[in-house]
Chain A
Amino acid sequence: MIADLCTPVVPSAPDAAEAAEYARTADDARTAGDTRIALVAYRKAAELGDEHAVVAIRELCALGSALTLDDAVALFKRGELDKADAILATLDTPGASFFRGAIALRRHDGTHAEAYLRVAERDPAYAGASQTLLRIARRTGKLEGVAFIGGEVDTNPHLLPDTPPTGDTATPATDGNGQLAVTTAARPWAWLALRDALVWRKQATQSDLDYLGNTASLAVEDDRGPDHVVIRYDFDDDVLGGEMYLIAHRATLGYRRDLAGWDVGASYSFRVRDFQRATEATFDGDVHSAEVTSTVHASPTLDVDSKMFGWRETTEDPLFTNWTVGAQLGVRVRPRDRVRIGATLGSWAGFYDGLDPNGDARHDYHADASGEVELDLDDNVLALAAVTAMVNRSTIADFDYWKLVARIGLAFAIGGP
């Protein structure tokens, strides 16, 4: 910024020889593109009566502020990607290339991201960080795909995804399973995202719980500035034990604001669930969910997430119709270049319309914790290990349950262009 050097010059006693020395220094600096030093020297020359310096000051100040990498980085941190990129495009430095690469990644432009990061990695100051982002660039693009193959041990597989707990879950029977998950995403335009996530889970012994879930999503996004808005529709069709299990629709409106080092957001979603089997028909109904989120980027290797959430779940049986409020705290750590660790701790309380055996309204208290480690084995291959634990306590004993899941597997991720 040069505004501080564009204020009126206060003249002093003229000295042509001295003024010429300053003017020459200023000219040299101006030729080298060193605008601030040129202005400091021109102001000295102008104070001493150099008319050429007065004109030069006027010209340089008319060109506007000399924006720097720091200015661009500050804009980048606030999510002003277009403005940051415009400044970075005028700076031919490894630092500028690094942040242009980071911006390209945020725009899912893997090809340009890789090109910029290749330049940045030649500078020792950016070599390590560029290597990390280059790996991500090779998994990023307008088309992205992730395939996961692994297995897990689940102490309570009867606790099904997106389904209220039934009495079966109070007496768990541990089972193992093999998993295959494939997620594909396409972004034909910056504002449109299409995504499909397919999960297949084959139980070792309890084949009635073999699960095939598919979620197709269409999202319209505005990611151009610090305000991020998304409108998304999800369609689920799930199969359990070889039978159609659940068809569901969800509409979501989300908002996030990037502040310097801190993001805040809020979202609302409306979900309609239509269970296909008679045994779960009592759970048919709607779910209205809302959440407020916050992410603090505490350091380059540490993010702290927190959120408060609540939902209103209506089912045909009032015993499962509830108001719920809760909170979750999470941390994401990158202790080494290729290692990412995440952990969450959450809890909620549910207050039900139905009555417990004592004639009092049912209420549940729930707590869960999870931990996950990701290790980059290669540009496109990751090893993953995760543990999830949860416990539920209800005023109706049938709905007390606990669950522990340990998962391990390998993922292959690719993206482009």
Chain B
Amino acid sequence: MRALCVAVLIGLCATAYGQGGAAPASSTTPRHLLAGVKAFKAQHYEEALVELRIVARAADAPDDLAFYLGPTLYKLGRYQDALGVFLGSKASRDTLTEFYLAQTYYRLALYRSARAVFVDLRTRGLGPALDAAAGEYVAEIDRGYARRPAPVVVEAYVAQGLALSDARLAAAYLDEGRQVDELAGTHRAEEIGWQLAQRYVALGDSARARPILEPIAAGHGAHAAEAADMLAKLP
């Protein structure tokens, strides 16, 4: 499966680089992007990361840099960095990037999030090899969650989310904690939701913050008034 991912990635990179040829002739960005892709293809992932970091700094960096940078970080085992790149990208993700995102969630033990992406990918349609691989991941996660998770699992995700200073990563862990809370029946939805909503607001993601804040504001919990106040300030 890995070989397939690399092959597909390189094929798409070559296409992307062809489109990148339209960049100003004075820019070194296409050269570094191509060097990064070549290094990735040769499995020289550290070298690829150096090249792609130079690209990331450039004013004419492609919007879909996450497509290259995320898998490189994933290959280097820098899963939190990879997740930050995938989630921080404003470009719409293609199938392969989504697959890498799901694998990154899985490597970070964010299993519910990984499962959601794998299931969505399979619903939208994957090639036979990736579909089989996604199916194996989903089955593996379902086996792990065949029994009700222990409260300590929820606590671990929440603690990790609260400890992370990067709001995007913190939100990923808190969201996982919220999903596992539903399965564990630990009834911490409001507490976790309040923390999660604050991260979404910090990221300027009102669309995600609003549906979490609304039930908290409508309730009688400890954060009802603060949630209502925050809702009122959302754009």
A-side residues, CB < 8 A to B, are 17-18, 21-22, 24-26, 28-29, 36-37, 40-41, 44, 121-125, 127-128, 131
Residues on the A chain within 8 Å of B163, using CB: 122
- Determine the residue in chain B with the shortest Cβ distance to A17: B28
Q: Are B53 and A25 in contact (CB under 8 A)?
A: yes
Q: Are B54 and A22 in contact (CB under 8 A)?
A: yes
Residues on the A chain within 8 Å of B53, using CB: 25, 28-29, 37, 41
CA distance A233 to B109 in the complex (A): 48
- Determine the residue in chain B with the shortest Cβ distance to A127: B156
Residues on the B chain within 8 Å of A28, using CB: 53
CB distance from A209 to the nearest CB of B (A): 45
Residue B227 is within 8 A (CB to CB) of chain A in the complex: no
Q: Are A131 and B152 in contact (CB under 8 A)?
A: yes
Chain B contact residues, majority secondary structure: helix
CA distance A121 to B153 in the complex (A): 9
Q: Are B160 and A122 in contact (CB under 8 A)?
A: yes
CA distance A323 to B152 in the complex (A): 55
Please judge, given known A-B contacts A124-B153, A125-B109, A127-B152, whether A22 and B50 are in contact too, CB under 8 Å.
yes
Please judge, given known A-B contacts A124-B160, A131-B152, whether A21 and B47 are in contact too, CB under 8 Å.
no
Interface size counted on chain B using CB atoms at 8 A:
22
Residue B157 is within 8 A (CB to CB) of chain A in the complex: yes
Q: Which of A25, A122, A123, A128 contacts B54 (CB 8 A)?
A: A25
Residues on the A chain within 8 Å of B50, using CB: 22, 25-26, 37, 40-41, 44
Q: Are B49 and A37 in contact (CB under 8 A)?
A: yes
- Determine the residue in chain A with the shortest Cβ distance to B107: A125
Residue B98 is within 8 A (CB to CB) of chain A in the complex: no
- Determine the residue in chain A with the shortest Cβ distance to B31: A18
Q: Are A122 and B156 in contact (CB under 8 A)?
A: yes
Residues on the A chain within 8 Å of B108, using CB: 124-125
- Determine the residue in chain B with the shortest Cβ distance to A337: B150
Residues on the B chain within 8 Å of A41, using CB: 50, 53
Residues on the B chain within 8 Å of A36, using CB: 46
Given contacts A37-B53, A44-B50, list 10 more A-B pairs with CB under 8 A: A24-B57, A25-B53, A25-B54, A37-B50, A40-B47, A121-B152, A124-B108, A124-B157, A124-B173, A125-B109
Chain B, residues 18-62, CB within 8 Å of chain A (1/0): the string is 000000000010001000000000000011011001100100000
- Determine the residue in chain A with the shortest Cβ distance to B52: A25
Residue B159 is within 8 A (CB to CB) of chain A in the complex: yes
Q: Are A21 and B159 in contact (CB under 8 A)?
A: no
